[in-house]
Amino acid sequence: MHRYARSSGDPMKLLLRRDQRSGMLGKQIFSLDVRADVSAEEKATIAKYRLGETQLYASHEITGGHGLLGVASRLAWKAVTIHINVNDLANGKRVEAKDVVELLAIEGHIREAAKTFVEILNAAKHFGGEEVVELA
């Protein structure tokens, strides 16, 4: 994906690229490449607070199930579960979907996760100091 140069005062941008390819049996597979344009200062904050593995989004989260069948079902779902953590946004990640509707739903969740990511970074930058918030 293209790298954009941004100054420390510019807001973070989420870079998205949609694509498709033919899979087995001629079915279309839709993909989304996603990466946040993270500044050097933001990378330092991620490292300082060890935020890299912080999960921002997971699809199809499965809980419950008992015994061997429960373990097997959780492992099967884990194989198709999409996880997005801070490192994925900072370094880029490709996700795939079986149809356009699913891909757009995933994209919407990733956009929300990226907004949460920005809020986390903003909060982390203000520990040990003051923040002035305009209310009007």
Residue 65 confidence class, pLDDT cut points 50, 70, 90: low
- Give dist(CA 101, CA 18) in Å, integer: 13
Beta bridge partners of 57: 84
Residue-wise pLDDT for 85-116, tens only, equals 999 999 999 999 888 998 999 999 999 999 99
Residue 79 confidence class, pLDDT cut points 50, 70, 90: very low
CB distance 8 to 108 below 8 Å: no
CA atoms within 13 A on the CB side of 5: 0
Range 13-35 burial, b when 16+ CB lie within 10 A, else e:
ebeeeeeeeeeeeeeeebebebb
